[in-house]
């Protein structure tokens, strides 16, 4: 007869656990209690958790606190968890008991049962104890925040790599479009001339700053409170455990992790996660802004601005034939909104630090790691399926520039604000260009006007040609025009 369940006992009584399960009574109770979302911990979180268990076992062996045979079995079992052999037994919802005790015990029980097998025992026999051995010199209260820090640092490399690639994709477009003059806009209105290249370069600079900010803020996450146990005092640990376990973690992760002078503070204060989440939010804000701007500049193809053409990736409508939408930027905006919302959840969770402990680390971990993953994927998609394939509609850029009032500001130093305002108003009333209107009054030669309206003059700081100013203002045509104002 095949047994479907085994009976385990804990402080609350007997618990039925699936017979072949590597988790035990604590996990089974938590599974029953917390049926909320169906969301599970991120893989990187589980790997980081198991790495901590391995490092703790090795540290306790070195400090002669843990039997070497048991410690090596824990280390070996932790390796298999790291490899993903027991992923199916991490069954708990991300919304669970405070501090993440179910996550910690789920891992402790899996490792204990596998280590028990290594020592010749059977699942459920617990020759290696989840609490006494696997969790030695640890508490959920220092394990889960440390797990979160390490998991974030693991994911950081991919996010930074995609961010840099995205930045350089924008820079390549800025170089490609550097000579394309167009209307710059403020308040949804024509402002002054710019180049399409300058627009894309500004986007690249923003993203570069965002990635640098994320890297800089991530440094604080390297400070670990592991060894602080329940409230940061280090109760139940060897005096050298903190520095020893951090050393072991560095050997296993190569992350340049550091010890702390005050584990009590790290147990209470999760502002490092707030800062890091905020840096992700800032990147999301810029990705939203860039996506929105590209959608506007792409609008049309006939009834909008249409200064750029985004790559066609899919039909845009189930009812309107031939319609193509800015699908990639729209997806990026959805990601940005989600990251902004997750950042708010992290902010609120970090506030919930009561006396010696913040108990909201599980939701902080899930939201920060999820934000990192979707931002990484969004950057890759945005670059490959949109930015790299953007084309400039140079004819449309020039057409709109000449039809607009954008070039008027460049004329102010030469003609004065009042005269230029009059010219602009007349050009709009007559449906003519600024250039056509001003040449009509013969206050300036066309060659001189073209110099003022050249891209070099209009899109960067430039010294005013005082000789030309005097030439214009001494002309009879200028004086006559001035008298009519």
pLDDT at 3 over 80: no
Both 420 and 305 in one domain: the answer is no
Please tell me the predicted confidence (pLDDT) of residue 2.
60
Instruction: Tell me the average pLDDT of the chain.
Output: 95
Distance CA 316, CA 319 (A): 9
Parent domain of 448: 407-484
Residues 6 or more apart in contact with residue 323 via CB below 8 angstroms: 315, 316, 317
Residues 6 or more apart in contact with residue 188 via CB below 8 angstroms: none
pLDDT at 485 over 90: no
Would 254 be classed as within a structural domain?
no
Both 212 and 360 in one domain: the answer is yes
Would 230 be classed as within a structural domain?
no
Would 232 be classed as within a structural domain?
no
DSSP 419-433: HHHHHHHHHHHHT--
Would 71 be classed as within a structural domain?
yes
User: What does the pLDDT look like over 351-369, one tens digit per residue?
Assistant: 999 999 999 999 999 999 9
Banded model confidence at residue 406, pLDDT cuts 50, 70, 90: confident
DSSP assigned state of 133: I
Distance CA 109, CA 212 (A): 40
Write down the H helix ranges in 129-262: 140-176, 196-218, 241-253
Please tell me the predicted confidence (pLDDT) of residue 310.
97
CATH of the domain at 425: 1.10.40.30
Both 13 and 64 in one domain: the answer is yes
Domain edge (last residue) among 105, 136, 167: 136
Both 164 and 281 in one domain: the answer is yes
Please tell me the predicted confidence (pLDDT) of residue 156.
98
**Under 8 Å between Cβ of 268 and 358:** yes
Domain edge (last residue) among 114, 136, 158: 136
Please tell me the predicted confidence (pLDDT) of residue 481.
84
Q: Which residue has the tokens 């604080």?
A: 220
User: What does the pLDDT look like over 205-250, one tens digit per residue?
Assistant: 999 999 999 999 999 999 999 999 999 999 999 999 999 999 999 9
Both 34 and 109 in one domain: the answer is yes
Both 368 and 415 in one domain: the answer is no
DSSP assigned state of 221: G
Would 434 be classed as within a structural domain?
yes
User: What does the pLDDT look like over 97-117, one tens digit per residue?
Assistant: 999 999 999 999 999 999 999
The percent of residues in the chain predicted with pLDDT above 90, rounded, is 86
Please tell me the predicted confidence (pLDDT) of residue 30.
97
From the candidates 37, 75, 174, 317, which is the catalytic residue? 317
Would 109 be classed as within a structural domain?
yes
Task: Count CB-CB contacts under 10 A for residue 72.
Answer: 17
Total number of domains constituting the chain: 3
- Catalytic (active site) residue 317: yes
Domain edge (last residue) among 83, 112, 136: 136
CATH of the domain at 185: 1.20.200.10
Distance CA 331, CA 381 (A): 9
Distance CA 345, CA 367 (A): 8
CATH of the domain at 87: 1.10.275.10
**Under 8 Å between Cβ of 246 and 58:** no
Please tell me the predicted confidence (pLDDT) of residue 371.
98
Would 291 be classed as within a structural domain?
yes
Least confident of 167-171, 338-342, 445-449: 445-449
Would 238 be classed as within a structural domain?
no
**Which residues on neighbouring strands pair with residue 353, listed in sequence order?**
358
Both 17 and 83 in one domain: the answer is yes
- The mean pLDDT value for 384-409 works out to 94
Q: Which residue has the tokens 């939408």?
A: 325
User: What does the pLDDT look like over 269-307, one tens digit per residue?
Assistant: 999 999 999 999 999 999 999 999 999 999 998 899 999
Widest distance between CA atoms in the chain: 112
* Closest C-alpha among 151, 48, 147 to residue 371: 151
Both 15 and 119 in one domain: the answer is yes
Write down the H helix ranges in 386-445: 394-403, 408-415, 417-430, 434-440
Distance CA 117, CA 80 (A): 13
Both 131 and 211 in one domain: the answer is no
Backbone angles phi, psi at 118, to 5 degrees: -60, -30
Collapsed DSSP state (helix, strand, coil) of residue 470: helix
Both 123 and 209 in one domain: the answer is no
Both 374 and 474 in one domain: the answer is no
Structure tokens at 21: 């399960």
DSSP 94-129: SS-SGGGHHHHHHHHHHHHHHHHHHTT--TTT-SS-
Both 74 and 157 in one domain: the answer is no
């Amino acid at each position: 007869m095949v047994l479907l369940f085994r009976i385990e006992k804990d402080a609350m009584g007997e618990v039925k656990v699936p017979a072949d399960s590597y988790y035990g009574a604590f996990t089974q109770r938590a599974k029953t209690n917390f049926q909320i979302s169906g969301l599970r911990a991120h893989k990187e979180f589980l790997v980081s958790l198991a790495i901590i268990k391995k490092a703790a076992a090795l540290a306790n062996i070195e400090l002669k606190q843990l039997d070497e045979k048991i410690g090596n079995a824990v280390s070996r079992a932790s390796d298999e968890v790291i490899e993903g052999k027991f992923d199916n037994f991490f069954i708990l919802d991300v919304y669970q008991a405070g501090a993440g005790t179910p996550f910690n015990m789920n891992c402790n029980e899996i490792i204990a049962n596998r280590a028990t097998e290594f020592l010749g025992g059977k699942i459920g026999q617990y020759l290696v104890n989840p609490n006494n051995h696997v969790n030695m010199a640890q508490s959920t209260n220092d394990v889960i925040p440390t797990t979160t820090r390490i998991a974030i640092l693991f994911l950081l490399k991919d996010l930074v790599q995609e961010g840099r690639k995205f930045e350089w994709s924008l820079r390549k477009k800025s170089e490609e479009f550097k000579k394309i003059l167009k209307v710059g806009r403020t308040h949804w209105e024509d402002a002054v001339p710019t180049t399409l290249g300058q627009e894309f370069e500004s986007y690249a600079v923003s993203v570069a700053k965002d990635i640098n900010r994320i890297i800089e803020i991530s440094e604080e996450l390297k400070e670990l409170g592991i060894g602080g146990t329940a409230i940061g005092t280090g109760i139940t640990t060897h005096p050298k455990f903190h520095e020893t376990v951090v050393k072991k973690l560095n050997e296993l992760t190569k992350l340049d992790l550091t010890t702390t002078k005050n584990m009590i503070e790290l147990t209470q204060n999760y502002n490092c996660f707030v800062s890091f989440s905020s840096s992700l939010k800032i990147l999301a804000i810029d990705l939203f802004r860039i996506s929105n701007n590209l959608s506007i500049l792409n609008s049309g193809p006939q009834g909008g601005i249409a200064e750029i053409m985004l790559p066609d990736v899919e039909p845009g409508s189930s009812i309107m034939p031939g319609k193509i939408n800015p699908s990639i930027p729209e997806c990026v905006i959805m990601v940005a909104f989600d990251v902004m919302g997750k950042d708010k959840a992290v902010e609120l969770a970090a506030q919930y630090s009561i006396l010696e402990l913040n108990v909201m680390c599980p939701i902080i971990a899930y939201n920060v790691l999820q934000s990192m993953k979707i931002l990484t994927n969004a950057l890759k998609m945005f670059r490959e399926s949109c930015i790299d394939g953007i084309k400039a509609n140079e004819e449309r850029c020039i057409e709109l520039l000449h039809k607009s009032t954008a070039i008027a500001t460049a004329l102010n130093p030469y003609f004065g604000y009042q005269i230029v305002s009059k010219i602009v108003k007349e050009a709009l009333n007559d449906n003519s260009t600024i250039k056509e209107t001003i040449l009509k009054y013969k206050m300036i030669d066309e060659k001189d006007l073209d110099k003022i309206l050249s891209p070099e003059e209009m899109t960067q700081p430039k010294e005013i040609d005082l000789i030309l100013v005097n030439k214009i203002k001494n002309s009879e045509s200028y004086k006559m025009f001035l008298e009519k104002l």
